[in-house]
Amino acid sequence: MVIKPSKLVAGDTVGVIAPASPPKPGPLKKAISFLEELGLDIKLGKSVHKKYGYLAGYDEERIEDIHMMFKDHEVKAIFCACGGFGTGRIASRLDYTLIRENPKIFWGYSDITFLHTAIHQQTGIVTFHGPMLSSDIGLSDVHNLTKKSFEQLFQSKDIVYTNKLSPLETVVEGMASGPVIGGNLTLSVSTLGTPFEVDTKGKILFIEDIDEEPYKVDRMMNQLKMAGKFHDACGIIIGDFKNCVPEKRDQSLTLDEVLKEHISDAGKPVLKGFKIGHSSPSIAIPVGSIGRMDTHDQTFIVETGISEDNDK
């Protein structure tokens, strides 16, 4: 059963947590001001400003923040401050019954992909693969479409992605319809062999990544292919692969060669060129909502991820 969280309205309280790495204070402060401009009140998690190596506090502290925000009936949405590293460490220790009984907007991407996959597959709640607070909204120059992505939390409109947003390319022709799943390629691969292994059966899989050379992307794509994830999917959306270039170009396959070789074999419809992920603009996508893709007119439409109900 798919559960769509309630929409936001001005005056709602939202939580800000750091379930992976610690955010930079300056950009986070700027991003919080943006949320306040949307009419939202902010409640910070206890570990947001903590540091434990490359983590925002000990595992127990980050887990406590997640549980606290889902349990708090005043909090209507949970925004992750940044990605980085560490969400895979805590996924097996989350209380998914608590989360299922308190559905609310959960927003972020990159390392947060592990939590999107785990939460949606364990609870049925639609989550949001959307731009980060400190690492996107907190930048000095933020694309207007990145900011506009937050509007989908206040009004139940389908997300319509066409060539008007970015040039799209058909890799394999066809049409597909099904729940949308995926996110960061590295994190999706890291779910394999765990209780939270990404399930792509009958679903539209979307992937994106950053700073990974083609040989590393090759290795990860091959692992997903051998695990049957491309074969099981009904369609594939290729998002942004920022800075995924070879250090030695004359000794490397291109990123396009790697992506196409592994995906095309599955024979499923594939579109590429989406500004989803580590990109500017960064377009938010509801994870778990029904998507429809058509390579003939190069469109990708995803149903709204929110319910019109608001129990404020």
CA distance 46 to 176: 43
Between strands 105-108 and 159-161, the pairing is unpaired
Q: CB neighbours (10 Å) of residue 51?
A: 12
Q: CB neighbours (10 Å) of residue 26?
A: 11
The yes-or-no answer on residue 134 being catalytic is no
Catalytic residue among 6, 47, 278, 279: 278
DSSP state of 231: H
Q: Of the candidates 100, 8, 5, 3, which has an alpha carbon nearest to the alpha carbon of residue 306?
A: 5
Instruction: Write the CB contacts of 265 (distance below 8 Å, at least 6 apart in sequence).
Output: 225, 230
Catalytic residue among 6, 47, 110, 282: 110
The yes-or-no answer on residue 278 being catalytic is yes
Segment (H or E) for 58: none
What is the number of H-type helices and E-type strands within the chain? 10, 14
The yes-or-no answer on residue 197 being catalytic is no
Q: The tokens of 258 are what?
A: 């790697």
Q: Name the maximum alpha-carbon separation found in the chain.
A: 59
Q: Report yes or no: 179 and 2 within 8 Å, Cβ to Cβ.
A: yes
User: 117: buried, middle or exposed (CB in 10 Å: 19+, 13-18, 0-12)?
Assistant: buried
Q: Report yes or no: 18 and 45 within 8 Å, Cβ to Cβ.
A: yes
Q: The tokens of 157 are what?
A: 């409109």
Catalytic residue among 47, 208, 212, 289: 208
Q: Which residues are catalytic?
A: 110, 208, 278
